[in-house]
A and B are shown apart, each in its own frame.
Chain A
């Protein structure tokens, strides 16, 4: 664990800890909650052979879409990539290995790892195509399937406010996968629009306690990619 008073750092130094071939959880559902500034730094530093775990593939020119387009991602564990035609094309051409799960199962596999469990039992998808890849068993007379937990070497998290100890608070629908991934990965790097001194966040306003967070980076909402995303209403 990183010492409390050594967590506040730069995006450059934090991302430099990620080696080639790392598995990385990336927060976000579409744009909200995607740690754009950290991903930009990852793109700039050039790590390759990555396995990414994210709900979606963003869009071709933003977020992890740019890493996929640059050929830096070997494998993607996800739920839906419909907004990224480049990722779909890379998948269809066999250049990107894609593993897809129902969204709630993906979330739960990550939550489960974060809670220190190895997996869980579910009845979701029993009579569907996804059942083919799973081990089934019977519990209390009911059929269910084993869903192993998913962990990762790193998680890249977007929070609204953090403190220098690494306590995090999220905002709006930018919560999504962030608090789950912050608990599930071995090393957690969080970006936040505002970083306070310890005590700047009320204890009950903290979504992710600092015990789970290794590095905190302040990003400027005005200059990061955070400002240029997504869709018309």
Chain B
């Protein structure tokens, strides 16, 4: 039986298309490396200045000058390049990165995202999140459906300071896969064994659900 996170990662990995340039956020999204088929031809961008990174093989000795933005030692695949931080963010702001995955504290019906600051509690800085969120065409949020107290994280309107407005394309939680549309949040897939009523009860946002077309994951 796969864990919730494993199911989310496997589902999220299906959003990556051959030929794309992909950015994996710190934390859970970094693990997507291990969920992409080996023959999938993509270049993983890391904002500290590398395009084409890949996990270090288990027996490979780390090169101390090769890390990803999460601080893990990495290797590179054929076709990779390294560059300075201004160029790395030029690539992001010019929308040359096709898809990015990141975590969230809150997401709402308009696709607003809050994932960098909880005033008074957590403010280590913005890092690359704001520019990735604003400029990458497809932003997939990977987060738990509720916080550790059970409160919904998928809201009608974000309450925390925004990372960027109207930037999220798709939300993948352990309970559902939701697409941000002009009409609101449309549920595409629902977790195996979960009913629609329970999903609605765990969510503050209004959910658009067509049960005849609902996928399972």
Contact = CB atoms under 8 A, between A and B. Distances in A.
B161 A104 contact: no
Contacts of B210: none
A135 B67 CA distance: 36
Contact of A104 (B71, B124, B131): B131
Interface stretch (A13-21, A44-52, A63-71, A170-178): A170-178
Contacts of A179: 84
B69 A128 contact: no
A31 B129 CA distance: 20
Interface in A109-144: 110-111, 123-125, 127-130
A100 B129 CA distance: 13
Interface residues of A, number: 49
Interface string B52-85: 0001100000111111110111100000001111
A32 B64 contact: yes
Contacts of B86: 104, 107-108, 110-111, 180
A78 B125 contact: yes
Nearest to A106: B85
Interface in B99-152: 117, 123-131, 134-135
Interface string B144-167: 000000000000000001111100
B164 A128 contact: yes
A140 to B, nearest CB: 17
B93 A79 contact: no
B88 interface: yes
Interface in A5-34: 29-33
B131 A173 contact: no
A227 interface: yes
Interface stretch (A80-88, A148-156, A209-217): A80-88
Minimum-distance CB pairs A-B, first 10: A104-B89, A82-B124, A80-B125, A172-B65, A107-B85, A80-B127, A174-B65, A111-B86, A102-B130, A29-B48
A110 B48 CA distance: 15
Contacts of B29: none
Given A30-B71, A172-B66, A227-B64, 8 more contacts: A80-B126, A103-B47, A107-B84, A123-B134, A160-B65, A173-B48, A176-B48, A180-B86
B185 interface: no
A230 to B, nearest CB: 6
Contact of A32 (B66, B126, B163): B66
A95 interface: no
A82 B115 CA distance: 14
A53 to B, nearest CB: 13
A226 B73 contact: no
28 contacts: A29-B49, A29-B67, A30-B71, A31-B67, A78-B125, A79-B126, A79-B127, A81-B125, A82-B125, A104-B92, A104-B131, A107-B86, A111-B86, A124-B130, A128-B130, A172-B63, A172-B66, A173-B50, A173-B66, A173-B67, A174-B65, A175-B49, A175-B83, A177-B84, A179-B84, A230-B71, A231-B71, A233-B62
A167 B124 CA distance: 35
Interface string A219-232: 00000001101111
Contacts of B62: 233
Contacts of A78: 125
> Which of B62, B124, B130, B134 has the most C-beta atoms of chain A within 10 angstroms of its own C-beta?
B124
A176 B74 CA distance: 15
B84 A180 contact: yes
